[in-house]
Amino acid sequence: MSVHNPDRPLVSIVLPAYNEASILRDHVIVLLDYLKSLEQRFRFEVLIVNDGSRDQTGAIAEQLALEFAGIRVFHHPRNFGLGQALKTSFAQFHGQYVIVLDIDLSYGPEHIGLLLDRITATGARMVLASPYMRGGRVVDVPWLRLFLSRMANRFLARASGHRFSTLTCMVRVIDGRFLRSLHLRNTGMDVMPEMIHKAKILRGSIEEIPAELNWERQNRAGGQRRSSIRILQQILRTTVSGYMLRPFTFLLVPGLLLLAFALYVNTWMVIHFIDAYAQLQATPGVEWDISSAVALAYSQYPHTFIVGLLSLMLAIQLTGMAMLSLQNKKYFDELFHLESTLLREQRESMQAPDGGNA
C-alpha cells in the first residue's frame, strides 16, 4: 500500500479498536485486500487506535504495522472511549480525505469506495453512510438494538433540526482540511452527532448515501462484542446529546403546552370571579367590591387559583429560558465559526506553500 506517489489523493482510514484481538488481523487483511481495488485512484494509510485494550489488540496492531506499509498504530494507556480514539487519529492523519470505519466490518469495506465516489463527485465536506435512508439495508441486527438505534437517530434528527437518517453512525468520510476545523470535544459516542452539528455551524455541506448494516460477521463470532454495549447508558447519552444540540426546543415545547394549560385554568378563574361578583351584587345589604369578589371566588375554588397562577408562572419561566438558550446557542455558533476560521487562517499562514494538506 504505497503512500509516496503524490498524483493520487491520500485517504486516511481510521480504525478505533478496543478488545478486538479475535477479529483485528483478519478484518484488517480483508480491508487491505479491498483497498487494492482502489489503488488506481487513491493512496491509503490506515490508522489503528488501540483504545486501552486489555487483550492482545495492541500487539496484533503493531505486528500488522510491521507487515504492511501504510499502517500506523496509536495506543491509549486506558480506555477513553470512541470520541477520544477518533480525536487521537484526527490529530495524526495525513490524508486529503478521512474515512472512519468500524473494525467489526458491520459496514463492509465496499462502503469506502461508495463514500469516496460521493465526496469527490459533490465536493461535500462530509458524507454519511446510512442504513436507515431509502435504499439502505439492515441484516441480522438484534431487534432491540435496531429499534433503539432507529429511535435515537429520529430523536436526534428532530432535536437538532438536521434531517439526516443517521447521526450516530461512525462510518463516514470527511474532507481532511475541513475536519481540522471542527475542534471536537466529546470523548464518547456523542462525538458522532457533535461532528455533524459543528459541521453545520461552519456551513459545511453534508450528504448521505444508502448503506448496509450487516451483523452476520458478529453473529458468527458470538455475542461477546455485543455484551459490551450499555444500552441504558447510551439512551441517557442520546437524550443529553439531543438537549445539548437544541435546548430551545426542549424548553419551548413544554413551556407552550404549560402556557396553554395555564390559560385554560385561568379562564375558569375569571369565570369564577365573574360568578362571585354577580353573587355579591345579587345579595341585599352586602357591601362588595372587586377584592371581595376575588376573595369569595378563591374561597369557593382555591385549587383553580393556585394551579392557574403557578402554571402561568412556570410557563413564563420556561419560555423565557427557551429564548435565553436560543440566544446563547446563536452566540456559541457565531463564536465557534469565528474561532475556527481564525485558527484555520493562522494554521495556513504558518505552512509553507508545499506543506501538504491543511
Q: Rounded to an integer, what distance in angstroms lies between the CA atom of residue 218 and that of residue 145?
A: 14
So what's the pLDDT on residue 9?
Answer: 95
50 SS3 class: strand
Alpha helices in 68-129 (DSSP H): 82-90, 110-122
So what's the pLDDT on residue 94?
Answer: 96
pTM for this prediction: 0.73
- DSSP assignment letter at 123: -
So what's the pLDDT on residue 245?
Answer: 63
Q: What's the first-to-final CA gap in the chain, in angstroms?
A: 23
Q: Rounded to an integer, what distance in angstroms lies between the CA atom of residue 13 and that of residue 104?
A: 14
The phi, psi pair for 174, rounded to 5°, reads: -130, 140
So what's the pLDDT on residue 77?
Answer: 94
Q: pLDDT (tens digit, 0 to 9) for every residue of the chain, 358 residues total?
A: 544 556 799 999 999 999 999 999 999 999 999 999 999 999 999 999 999 999 999 999 999 999 999 999 999 999 999 999 999 999 999 999 999 999 999 999 999 999 999 999 999 999 999 999 999 999 988 888 888 888 878 877 776 667 888 888 889 999 999 998 888 888 888 888 889 888 888 889 999 999 999 988 777 765 544 434 455 566 566 666 666 666 777 788 888 999 999 999 999 999 999 998 888 887 876 667 888 888 989 999 999 999 999 999 999 999 888 888 877 777 777 777 677 777 766 766 766 554 444 4
What are 211's three cell numbers? Answer: 448503506
Q: Rounded to an integer, what distance in angstroms lies between the CA atom of residue 47 and that of residue 100?
A: 10
Domain boundary assignment for the chain: 10-245, 248-350
Task: Compute the C-alpha angle 121/183/204, nearest 5°.
Answer: 30
- CB neighbours of 24 closer than 8 A, spacing ≥ 6? 17, 48, 57, 60, 61, 64, 103
The full DSSP string for 4-28 is --TTS-EEEEEEEESS-TTTHHHHH
Please choose, from the candidates 309, 315, 310, the residue with its C-alpha nearest in 3D space to the C-alpha of residue 253.
Answer: 315
Contact 189, 237 (CB under 8 A): yes
Contact 73, 65 (CB under 8 A): yes
Q: At the fourth CATH level, which superfamily is domain 10-245?
A: Spore Coat Polysaccharide Biosynthesis Protein SpsA; Chain A (3.90.550.10)
Contact 209, 128 (CB under 8 A): yes
Q: Rounded to an integer, what distance in angstroms lies between the CA atom of residue 311 and that of residue 268?
A: 14
Q: Rounded to an integer, what distance in angstroms lies between the CA atom of residue 287 and that of residue 266?
A: 26
- In the block, which residue shows the cell 444540540? 245
Burial label for 34, CB within 10 Å (0-12, 13-18, 19+), is: middle
User: Which sign, positive or negative, has the C-alpha torsion 214, 219, 221, 225?
Assistant: positive
So what's the pLDDT on residue 66?
Answer: 97
Q: Rounded to an integer, what distance in angstroms lies between the CA atom of residue 186 and that of residue 179?
A: 15
Q: Rounded to an integer, what distance in angstroms lies between the CA atom of residue 115 and that of residue 211?
A: 10
What are 306's three cell numbers? Answer: 393556585
% helix / strand / coil in the chain, to the nearest 5? 55, 15, 30
**Element (H or E) spanning 49, and its range?**
strand 43-51
Number of other residues whose CB lies within 10 A of the CB of residue 321: 16
What are 201's three cell numbers? Answer: 455551524
Please choose, from the candidates 161, 43, 28, the residue with its C-alpha nearest in 3D space to the C-alpha of residue 95.
Answer: 43
Q: Rounded to an integer, what distance in angstroms lies between the CA atom of residue 164 and that of residue 153?
A: 8
CA 164 and chain centroid, separation: 11
So what's the pLDDT on residue 237?
Answer: 64
The full DSSP string for 162-204 is ---S-SS---EEEEHHHHTTS-----STTHHHHHHHHHHHTT-
